[in-house]
Structure 1
Amino acid sequence: MIVETPSRLHITLIDLNGVHGRIDGGVGLTIDDPCIQIEAEPADNGISTIFSNKSQMIPGLLEDYSKKIEGAASRVIQARKYTEGFEFKVDAAYPPHSGLGSGTQLSLAVAKLMTELNGESLPAHELAKIVGRGGTSGIGVESFENGGFIIDGGHNSHDKSSFLPSSASSASPPPIIARYNFPEDWKVVLTIPDVEKGVSGSKEIDAFQKHCPIKLEEVEKLSHLILMKLMPAVVESDLDSFGSAINIIQNTGFKKIENKLQSVHIKRIMEELRNSGAAAVGMSSFGPTIYSVTDTNVKTVVKEAKNSIKDIGGQVIQTQARNHGAKFFD
């Protein structure tokens, strides 16, 4: 069995203040490319991973993916009491710690493959609890299940009492409170500069602990912006309003902190992309991936994206929203 997962843009966390009894909350978008494609077969014992295109994968990816596959598989074996082993083959991958949610997609794909091979069909929410994903944001889990433009409602403070990233949180995935199809004629351009990868691990935990709680007025401003500008813009296919909201979000709430912790190149690239005519420019999660959303001038935006990284290196990907979840093949 083969699973092809989408990737996701994490636009912003909503409430890292918690005065009303909930924390986190997230806004995100599922995208077609890049993706992870992984297949699995039963084995006599143990967990093994092979890569079909080793030479095309960046340094560090093989070790990161192997470790995450083994970790997710071990959790599934323990939770579901499986006795056989599994062999995994990674056919397509994208860099970890790039802001595109590879950890959640890879872990869910592993869990889905293992449970389906054992005759079990579990929803992504249940798989996420098994493999320990979704402890801060529900965007990646819903992207795997249904895709689209997603808003999650965060965690009740009784279930999660401190400000922590998903990697350090044992909370269950939060509820999805809104999900819309994203306009298919809007194009998404990813710029992934060759700079230090986004904040992760202990640095990410430190960022949450140092900068939270966020001031209540910042959270209120962001919530108003999401409810009365960003969400209606998606529903009404209003690109100008959507772009305006995304651009304001970059300097609001915890997203402002995420941007401040980045390389100086990130701010420069974002400014150049806006000047090229992209309606919306933002950084996904802790970066370094920058996304631009546009419609008729996509060639101009792609050209500017490539120019913006010519001195530092990196990758530019033209893609689009994905209004469905992971694909499954026999």
Structure 2
Amino acid sequence: MRNHNSDSRSQHDCVQVTAPSRLHFGLMSYGGPGRQFGGAGVMIDQPSTQLTVRAARTFSASGPGTQRAIHFAKTWSKNHSIDLDCHLEIVQLPPEHVGLGTGTQLGLSVAAALNALYGIVPARPRELAASVGRGKRSAVGTHGFFLGGLIVERGKQAEELLSPLDCQLSLPEDWRVVLVRPTHCRGLSGIAEQQAFSELPVISPAVTETLTDELRQNLLPAAAQGAFTAFSQSLFRYGQLAGSCFATQQGGSYNGPRLTQLVHQILEMGVEGVGQSSWGPTLFALLPTLAEAQAFCDKLRRLPDLDGIDLLISHINRGGHLLSASDSVSATGQAPANL
């Protein structure tokens, strides 16, 4: 590994990155011939991943998710043959393994910050993801890190590093997403997720075709036109069918009886654009304005069995992550974890 000292670093000694979270509406293909995974999702501003990397004599890290961030930094360092001399501070990290794509956003944020600190030409999505070992299945979060908005990716061939982007659209600024998240459970990840995929039945070509048609004929045209009701109805249909492909692992279109009950309760309240993000447990509900999102949350809080449910209203992200560089940043006083 080569030593990349301060003389060869970029002109900045501090880089800050803020990244959105990702909601995934469901995969389109798995186990059959042709492209694998594919799917659609949207990037949201809150909760966000925020981190700072600044020049230091040795490498250290602090903040929530430190060990995972260190792993990403080590992977980046190995792939670029660069010895790290910086401090990585995770300022804010959304909950992990709850359907928000936090691991990918953290990994890409670490990679983007290190690229900027060490003067490496900004990478394309597939290169940035590969540098920290992300993007092996879904690419919604990777493309969304760069672009924000509504993301549709077509699925990947075996030889491809990353599933290609099929379409990106910005959604109306007034629309809001309400996250409905049971706080007592987590979705699948790591070895458990790999095991679940190994046991999944093949998604039939007919189902893949139906999901693709739903996106192309209904969801995307409604998004382009800002047609809230049509978009909401299509979003529900897509998520329900995509989720049914995972019924052997989660018991239905949604991950367990509690999430299924919540979806039905939300539908009964007149909200049509409801679904589960990835393996859950985060559910999302689409509302046309902030005022209606607030009213929906007030009504939801009055349900008798809502203990242990976290609610959050978020904008739909536009433009992906934010990166800024400067000459210095003050230390936080947190004790670092050394590499």
Mark yes or no: TM-score above 0.5: yes
SS in 2 for 1:8: strand
1:310 CA drift (Å): 5.4
What 5-or-longer segments of structure 1 have no aligned partner? 52-61, 160-170
**Displacement of 1:43 after TM fit?**
2.4
Q: Which residue of 2 aligns with 1:57?
A: none
**Residue 32 (structure 1) aligned to one of 45, 50, 56:** 45
Q: Root-mean-square deviation (CA), in Å?
A: 1.9
Contact 1:2 1:113 in 2 (8 A): yes
User: For structure 1, which segment, 88-97 or 291-300, has the greater mean C-alpha deviation from structure 2 after superposition?
Assistant: 291-300
1:1-330 equivalent positions in 2, closer than 5 A? 1-19=15-33, 21-46=34-59, 48-51=60-63, 62=64, 65-123=65-123, 124-156=125-157, 158-159=158-159, 172-254=161-243, 256-257=245-246, 260=252, 262-296=255-289, 297-307=292-302, 311-330=306-325
Provide the C-alpha distance between the structure 2 equivalents of 1:225 and 1:265, rounded to a whole number of angstroms. Answer: 27
Q: What SS does the corresponding residue of 1:190 show, helix, strand or coil? A: strand
Which stretches in structure 2 are left out of the alignment for 5+ residues?
A: 1-14, 326-339
Cα drift, residue 233 of structure 1: 0.9
Separation of aligned partners in 2, 1:85 and 1:125 = 25
Identity across aligned pairs (percent)?
27
C-alpha distance in structure 2 between counterparts of 1:309 and 1:92, whole Å: 32
* Structure 1 SS opposite 2:246: helix
Task: Select between 289-298 and 24-33 the one with higher mean Cα deviation.
Answer: 289-298
CA distance in 2, matches of 1:118, 1:217: 48
Distance 1:23 1:280, change over 3 A: same
- Aligned-partner SS, 1:39: strand
- The 2-side partners of 1:309 and 1:133 are apart by 41
C-alpha distance in 2 between matches for 1:304 and 1:256: 32
Work out the CA distance in 2 between the residues paired with 1:304 and 1:282. 18
* 8 Å contact kept, 1:187–1:293: yes
**Secondary structure at the residue paired with 2:83?**
coil
Contact 2:38/2:155 (<8 A) preserved: yes
Counterpart-to-counterpart distance in 1, 2:84 and 2:72: 15
Question: What's the CA shift for 1:265?
Answer: 1.1
Structure 1 pair 89/187, CA: closer, same or farther in 2 (3 Å)? same
Stretch moving more, 249-258 or 65-74 = 249-258
Structure 1 residue 278 displacement after superposition: 1.6
- Within 2, Cα distance between the matches of 1:135 and 1:304? 40
Letter in 1 for 2:256: S
- Does the 8 Å CA contact 1:191/1:305 hold for their aligned counterparts? no
Change (3 A) 1:199 1:312: farther
2:42–2:151 CA contact under 8 A, matched in 1: yes
Whole-Å separation in 1 of the counterparts to 2:300 and 2:17: 30
1:55 maps to which residue? none
In 1, Cα distance between equivalents of 2:113 and 2:119: 10
Q: Distance in 2 between matches of 1:139 and 1:253?
A: 15
Amino acid at match of 2:138: S
Change (3 A) 1:33 1:310: farther
| Pair 308,90 (structure 1): closer, same or farther in 2 beyond 3 Å | farther
The number of residues matched between the two structures is: 304
State the Cα distance separating 1:17 from its structure 2 match: 4.5
Secondary structure in 2 matching 1:155: coil
Contact in 2 for aligned 1:196/1:263 (Cα 8 Å)? no
Q: Kindly tell me: are residues 307 and 266 of structure 1, through their superposed partners in 2, closer, same or farther at Cα, counting changes over 3 Å?
A: farther
Structure 1 counterpart SS, 2:82: coil
Cα shift readout 1:153-198 (whole Å, capped 9, x = no counterpart): 1111x42xxxxxxxxxxx6221101111112121111111123201
Task: Quote the Cα distance in structure 2 between the aligned partners of 1:12 and 1:255.
Answer: 10
Counterparts of 1:310 and 1:32, CA distance in 2:
28
Indicate the structure (1 or 2) with the bigger Cα radius of gyration.
2
Greater mean alpha carbon deviation, residues 267-276 or residues 98-107: 267-276
Distance 1:225 1:321, change over 3 A: same
Partner of 2:128: helix, strand, or coil?
A: helix
Letter in 1 for 2:311: V
Task: Indicate the SS of the match to 2:120.
Answer: coil
How far apart in 2 are the matches of 1:79 and 1:250?
37
